[in-house]
Structure 1
Amino acid sequence: MQKLLVCYKWVLDEQDIKIAGDLSLDTSRAKYKISDYDKNAIEEGVLLAEKHGVSVEALTFGSVAAKQSLKDALSRGLEKVYWLGDAAADQADAFVTANILAAAIRKISQYDLILCGEGSSDAYSQQTAPRLAALLGIPAITFVQQLSVADGKVTATRKLGDCTEEVAITGPAVISVLPEINKPRIPGLKQVMAAAKKPSEEIKLADLELAAEELAPKVRCVNLKGYVMDRKKVIFKEANQADNVAKLVASLAQEGLC
Structure 2
Amino acid sequence: MDDTGATDVDAMLEMYGFLRNEITQSNRLQQQLVLGLATFVGLVFGLVFSGALADFGTQSSASYQLVIAAVLPIISVTAGIWLAEQSRVMMAGNYLQLLEHKINDRIGNAPMSWENWLRRDTSLTNQKTYDVAYLIGYVCFFLVIGVLSGLLYIYEVIMGTITLNSISFIGFLKILWLLIWSGVLVIISLHSYRVLGHKTENMSGKVLTRWEEKEFQSEVLLSEAFDAYPDLVENIEFETSSTEEQFRELLERADN
Q: Normalising TM by the smaller chain, what interval? A: under 0.3
**TM-score, normalised by the number of residues in structure 2:** 0.23
Which structure carries more helix by proportion?
A: 2
Larger Rg: 2
Q: Which has the higher strand share?
A: 1
